[in-house]
Amino acid sequence: MIRSMTNALEFEIHHRLDGALARTGTITTPHGTIQTPAFIPVATRAAMRGITTEQLAGTGAQAALVNAYHLYLRPGHNLIDRAGGIHTFMNWQGPTFSDSGGFQVMSLGVGFKKVIDMTGDRAENVTHKKEKLAWIDDDGVRFKSHLDGSMHTFTPELSMQIQHGIGADITFAFDELTTLHHDYYYQIESLDKRTHPWAVRSLAEHQRLNAERSHRPPQALFGVVQGADHEDLRRKSAKFLGEMDFDGYGLGGALRKENIGDIVRWMNEELPDDKPRHMLGISEPDDIFACIENGADTFDCVSPARVARNGAMYTRRGRINITRAQYKDDFTPFDADCDCYSCEHYTSAYIHHLFNADELLSKTLATIHNERFIVRLVDDIRASIADGTFFEFKNKFLTEYYGDRSQ
């Protein structure tokens, strides 16, 4: 058993998986514990669209992640601080994470509103679809608000001030999110001139704020590893950050799906073993298994809720769209194996009707189901690591979920 403890966070490892980097553990924060591995649902603007925090807690979610960029613009981190912090403001009793805002301001810089293309399949400039709204230099990022067009500048210091005002238990250092469209030499420059120096500045400001704000619970800070899909750069970034006094680490940036497991392994082989690692932005079952197998402890993603709002719902047999005509007369639960509120109280026909009638309740019930599905999947993965059946469970689940497409 390995235990790491700081003023803001304690991490204890309980089980390890033979032949892999997977482990189970417990993260202890001022607002409660997280049993790992764990999926962390995203409540971007201090809310998950269409459901209450009580409903989110009902999915079994142990923690929630909010976003510094959006909360800085509206309602403002100072207001949240005056309210007593994010837990009081959004009535969430468990642990919280806050994203640094880097993804949002960098995505404005490449002309994408919500999603940055990470495939690397196209070589052309990706800014042609939307107006470029952010400009990066070695000091930070200057950007135009997507709300009113006002100009703002994010620096590592401001990101930390925003996150401390929000009051999340676990915060992230400000970093530059590159894409696979950036060449190798740009990736080197990004690490050396921005992500790594910004990590140093983020840590210094974080330590200052923790000391200055002793009337608030102490907050933890995770450094964010970058390097795209280059093994040498991923290992370099992990070594650099691993020598700093972070409470844990974020595994971020551009990843090719086909080698996501390898990239996570490269980073975790270099990072301190006794500190937690958070994977930023994954939710597909094959990716979840790959990242956990290679040492990720927690991860977040908006996808389960986002696809739910369009009628796409997860099952053990794959993702199915409830708006299909076959569900019009189906008076059974959508997923008989699911223990979520939606499946226990409503039929497929009813949820199908809600989507066809464009009722807001449709999105609520689908979101509850999808969040519970992913939370429960990771709970089952955690149990399989503890009892040594991870690989058997992985093969069985992915074969059933993807069918002939399973690896």
Condensed to tens digits (0 to 9), the pLDDT of residues 42-74 reads 999 999 999 999 999 999 999 999 999 999 999
What are the angstrom distances between the C-alpha of 207 and each of 34, 164, 167?
Answer: 23, 11, 14
Q: Which domains does the chain have, with CATH numbers?
A: 2-308 (3.20.20.105), 314-405 (no CATH)
Tokens describing residue 315:
């099952």
What are the angstrom distances between the C-alpha of 181 and each of 11, 118, 187, 196, 260?
Answer: 36, 8, 10, 20, 17
Query: Lowest-pLDDT range, 37-46, 124-133, 207-216, 223-232?
Result: 124-133
Q: What is the pLDDT of residue 123?
A: 37
The rounded distance, in Å, linking the Cα atoms of 45 and 389 is 38
Cβ atoms within 10 Å, residue 317:
12
Task: Please enumerate in sequence order all residues whose Cβ is within 8 A of that of 159, keeping only pairs 6 or more positions apart, or say none.
Answer: 68, 100, 101, 102, 173, 174, 202
Condensed to tens digits (0 to 9), the pLDDT of residues 72-104 reads 999 999 999 999 999 999 999 999 999 998 888
pLDDT of 321 above 50: yes
Q: How far is CA 134 from the centre of its chain?
A: 22
Condensed to tens digits (0 to 9), the pLDDT of residues 281-314 reads 887 999 999 999 999 999 999 999 999 999 999 9
Condensed to tens digits (0 to 9), the pLDDT of residues 170-203 reads 999 999 988 888 999 999 999 999 999 999 999 9
Q: How far is CA 94 from the centre of its chain?
A: 16
Catalytic residue set: 99, 300
Pairing of strands 220-225, 170-172: parallel
Phi (first) and psi of residue 25, to 5 degrees: -170, -175
Tokens 């009793």 appear where? 93
This prediction's pTM: 0.94
Contact present, 199 and 244 (Cβ < 8 Å): yes
Looking at every residue in the chain, the average pLDDT score rounds to: 92
The DSSP element (H or E) to which 97 belongs, if any, is strand 96-99
pLDDT of 115 above 50: no
Q: How far is CA 30 from the centre of its chain?
A: 20
Tokens 């074969």 appear where? 399
The rounded distance, in Å, linking the Cα atoms of 312 and 303 is 10
Task: Please enumerate in sequence order all residues whose Cβ is within 8 A of that of 222, keeping only pairs 6 or more positions apart, or say none.
Answer: 170, 171, 172, 173, 246, 247, 248, 249, 250, 276, 278
Q: What is the pLDDT of residue 86?
A: 98
Q: What is the pLDDT of residue 109?
A: 56
